[in-house]
Amino acid sequence: MNYRHAFHAGNHADVLKHIVQLALIDSFKRKDSPFFVLDTHAGRGRYLLASEESRKTLEAEDGVMKLMSQPKLPEVVERYLKAVQADNPVGAMITYPGSPLLTAQAMRPQDRLAACELQPEEAAALKKLFAGDARVGVYEGDGYEKIRALVPPKANGAKIGRGLVLIDPPYEGQDAEYIRILAALKETFERWPQATCAVWFPIKQRRTILHFLRKATALPYKSAMTIELLVRPDESPLRLNGSGMLILNAPFQFDRVIGPALPALKQHLGEPGASTRLDWLKTAE
Ligand code: SAM
């Protein structure tokens, strides 16, 4: 099968990241004109959850699966759960869709996705997944370096004005990753000032991300907001205690769309001491 087990797929970080991603994409769909999504760190597109030997450590059980068992949730959360369920047989959770698959599911015929992935094996799986979907381009290589070629976006020779750059790196090189993200954002805005950018960031200890957020606010965009979910206090530097999304040039009133999700995520995914935040770092005049 063209899948790979992924013990952390569908965990609290994926839940936050993918709820925000789908809400951003839905906001673009309010207009008929096409939009473009550049997914710089796309992964393989679909992950296998169910298997007898992996059940004990499956992080989805404390993430997306916990939400699946709730009778009533805010609209943006329900919408995300429907998208995850759509990748599965009725009543079962076997696979978890990654960011490019969620985008492709949500896109219309006129919209376009460029999905970049560095690891050849992951990129090959992604190519296989989207073979035959002319709306999707899969690019093997460094997603940061592809910005120059893919932005500003065009389809059939015509410019696409609206869209999203999604940056979801593995953060293996901690501080070095933040430097690359800031450079990528700078380049994106120089080439495509009206782009919306969404950057996922891990939170082990919250104070360690403040320097990055301060640097990011110096970039030339109209608005910046952060949305965070800490599933436990950020005391331990060794655990992924939570994560956040930095959104630059968010759609109008995006806080009202995403805000209702946060208390529900804290209630259902949080341990004692869990918390959420939604902060505007810069507002559009
Ligand atoms: N965005 C995906 C999702 O939500 O389903 C998950 C992405 S995963 C956190 C990070 C991925 O980035 C991995 O598949 C890794 O191989 C890939 N990667 C690492 N460095 C990269 C780079 N410089 N350019 C493109 N992909 C990269």
Active site (catalytic) residues: 168
Q: What is the mean pLDDT of residues 244-265?
A: 96
List, in order of start, the domains of the chain with CATH numbers.
4-282 (3.40.50.150)
Ligand 1 within 6 A of CB of 10: no
CB contact at 8 A, 162 and 36? yes
Ligand 1 within 6 A of CB of 42: yes
Q: What pLDDT is recorded for position 153?
A: 93
Instruction: Compute how many other C-beta atoms are within 10 angstroms of the C-beta atom of residue 52.
Output: 6
For residue 176, the CA-to-ligand 1 centroid distance in Å is: 15
Instruction: Compute how many other C-beta atoms are within 10 angstroms of the C-beta atom of residue 269.
Output: 20
Summarize pLDDT for 94-130 with one digit per residue, the tens. 899 999 999 999 999 999 999 999 999 999 999 999 9
Summarize pLDDT for 211-230 with one digit per residue, the tens. 999 999 888 888 999 999 99
Q: Kindly indicate the confidence band of residue 155, based on its pLDDT and cuts at 50, 70 and 90.
A: confident
CB contact at 8 A, 25 and 103? yes
For residue 118, the CA-to-ligand 1 centroid distance in Å is: 7
Residue 180 vs residues 72, 167, 172, 173, 201: alpha-carbon distances, Å: 40, 11, 12, 10, 13
Q: What is the mean pLDDT of residues 182-209?
A: 95
Alpha-carbon Rg for the chain, nearest whole angstrom, is 18
76 bridge partner residues: none
Q: What pLDDT is recorded for position 26?
A: 98
Ligand 1 within 6 A of CB of 163: no
Which residues are documented as binding site? 18, 41, 99, 117, 142-143, 168
CB contact at 8 A, 21 and 103? yes
Q: Which atom of ligand 1 is nearest to the CA of 142?
A: 24
For residue 135, the CA-to-ligand 1 centroid distance in Å is: 20
Percent of the chain with pLDDT over 70: 95
Q: Which mutation among 21, 80, 118 tests ligand 1's pocket best, with the greatest number of atoms within 8 A of CB?
A: 118
Residue 210 vs residues 1, 81, 206: alpha-carbon distances, Å: 42, 31, 7
* Backbone region of residue 77 per phi and psi (left: phi > 0; alpha: psi in -120 to 50; beta: other values): alpha
Residue 45 has pLDDT above 70, yes or no: yes
Residue 187 vs residues 26, 39, 147, 199, 269: alpha-carbon distances, Å: 25, 15, 8, 14, 36
Q: Kindly indicate the confidence band of residue 1, based on its pLDDT and cuts at 50, 70 and 90.
A: very low
Ligand 1 within 6 A of CB of 43: yes
Give the least confident one: 1-5, 6-10, 258-262.
1-5
Give me the chain's average pLDDT, please: 92
DSSP calls for the chain: ----B-TTTTSHHHHHHHHHHHHHHHHHTTSSS-EEEEESS-TTSEEE---GGGGGG-GGGGTHHHHHT-S---HHHHHHHHHHHTTS-TT---EEE-HHHHHHHH--TT-EEEEEESSHHHHHHHHHHTTT-TTEEEEES-HHHHHHHHSS-EETTEE--EEEEEE----TTHHHHHHHHHHHHHHHHHH-TT-EEEEEEEESSGGGGHHHHHHHTTSS-S-EEEEEEESS-TT-TTS--EEEEEEESPPTTHHHHHTTHHHHHHHHH--TT-EEEEEEEE---
The pTM (predicted TM-score) of the whole model is 0.95
Greater pLDDT, 109 or 58: 109
The CB-side HSE value for 79 (13 A sphere, CA atoms) comes to 22
Ligand 1 within 6 A of CB of 177: no
CB contact at 8 A, 42 and 126? yes
For residue 273, the CA-to-ligand 1 centroid distance in Å is: 30
Q: Kindly indicate the confidence band of residue 56, based on its pLDDT and cuts at 50, 70 and 90.
A: low
